[in-house]
């Protein structure tokens, strides 16, 4: 559980950095999202998730 909470904390840190350092870029990306097909968003999300799981597996294994 401690690892999960640490991972969540790192996620919040990175998310906060994006909002704090490049808010204009984030707004522009959000404007483009409706034009991206749902299938492509799902594929990107699954790829990001797989990369995260693989990274944790390599780092913790």
Q: Where are the domains of the chain?
A: 2-60
Q: Give ∠ CA 2-10-19 in degrees, rounded to 5.
A: 150
Averaged over successive runs of 10 residues, the pLDDT of the chain (61 residues) comes to 90 95 95 96 96 91 78
Q: What pLDDT score was predicted for residue 22?
A: 96
From 17, 7, 8, select the one nearest 55 (Cα to Cα): 7
Q: What pLDDT score was predicted for residue 60?
A: 86
Q: What pLDDT score was predicted for residue 4?
A: 87
How many Å apart are CA 5 and CA 15, to the nearest integer?
A: 15
Residues 26 and 18: beta-carbon distance below 8 Å: yes
Q: What pLDDT score was predicted for residue 17?
A: 95
CA distances to 5, 22, 24, 33, 34 from 28, rounded to whole Å, are 30, 10, 6, 9, 11
Q: What pLDDT score was predicted for residue 61?
A: 78
């Amino acid at each position: 559980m401690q690892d999960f909470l640490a991972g969540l904390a790192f996620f919040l840190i990175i998310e906060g950095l994006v909002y704090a350092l490049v808010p204009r870029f984030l707004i522009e990306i959000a404007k483009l999202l409706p034009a991206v097909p749902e299938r492509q968003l799902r594929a990107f999300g699954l790829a990001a998730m797989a990369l995260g799981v693989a990274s944790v597996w390599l780092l913790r294994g």
